[in-house]
Amino acid sequence: MKRRTFLQALASLPFAYSTVSQAHHTEGNKVEELKLSELEWRKRLTPEQFYILREEGTERSFTSPLNDEKRKGEYRCAGCDYLLFTSDMKYDSGTGWPSFFTVVEGHIGTSTDFKLIYPRTEYHCARCGGHQGHVFNDGPKPTGERWCNNGLALNFVPT
């Protein structure tokens, strides 16, 4: 297959949600999914949040005040308030996006996206499906994971 044809084939792939989140869902803590229309989301979110959460956009690096957030607390989905991370999971990756080395078990789903040439693992809120960021395998111990999150997709609630 010629390269161009191959890329076109990649681009035309349907959005393939993996079974990861569904697997978590079956473990007795199934969350009721929040489904809203595009209009309802536009009313609920700022244009920037809509772009990230509902259109899988990415904010510019070093723009989120959450980069420097070091207080104890909870990081909740800006779309539906579902708990996604706690402050104990956060670390400074130096990338300019709030970063975490793990997630609240079962509260996040993943899929593979092909927006760049190489496939990346996209992740989203398990309740509302709102896009949060991408996960990479160059994080710190003990998980080795770097959950690279858009600050605008999160609300921080200090405890």
Decide: is 128 part of the binding site for Zn ion (CB under 5 A).
Answer: yes
Residue among 77 and 135 whose Cβ is closer to Zn ion: 77
Q: Is 155 helix (H, G, I), strand (E, B) or coil?
A: strand
In residues, how long is the chain? 159
Decide: is 126 part of the binding site for Zn ion (CB under 5 A).
Answer: no
Residue among 20 and 114 whose Cβ is closer to Zn ion: 20
Please indicate whether residue 148 is annotated as part of the active site.
yes
Nearest approach, Cβ of residue 138 and Zn ion (Å):
26
Residue span binding Zn ion (CB under 5 A) among the ranges 10-18, 72-80, 98-106, 139-147: 72-80
Catalytic residue among 77, 80, 128, 148: 148
Decide: is 79 part of the binding site for Zn ion (CB under 5 A).
Answer: yes
Among 45, 52, 66, 77, binds Zn ion (CB under 5 A): 77
Query: Which of 145, 104, 98 is closest to 125 using CA atoms?
Result: 104
User: Which is it for strands 90-91 and 16-17: parallel, antiparallel or unpaired?
Assistant: unpaired
Among 66, 80, 135, 153, binds Zn ion (CB under 5 A): 80
3 state SS for 49-100: HHHHHHHCCCCCCCCCHHHHCCCCEEEEECCCCCEEEEHHHEECCCCCCCEE
Among 98, 106, 109, 130, binds Zn ion (CB under 5 A): 130
Residue span binding Zn ion (CB under 5 A) among the ranges 1-9, 55-63, 118-126, 134-142: 118-126
Structure tokens at 37: 């229309």
Determine the Cα–Cα distance for residues 41 and 10; give it in Å rounded to an integer: 29
In sequence order, which residues have a C-beta less than 8 Å from that of residue 37 and are 6 or more positions away? none
Nearest approach, Cβ of residue 15 and Zn ion (Å):
17
The catalytic site residues sit at 148
Q: Where on the chain is the footprint of Zn ion (CB under 5 A)?
A: 77, 79-80, 82, 125, 127-128, 130
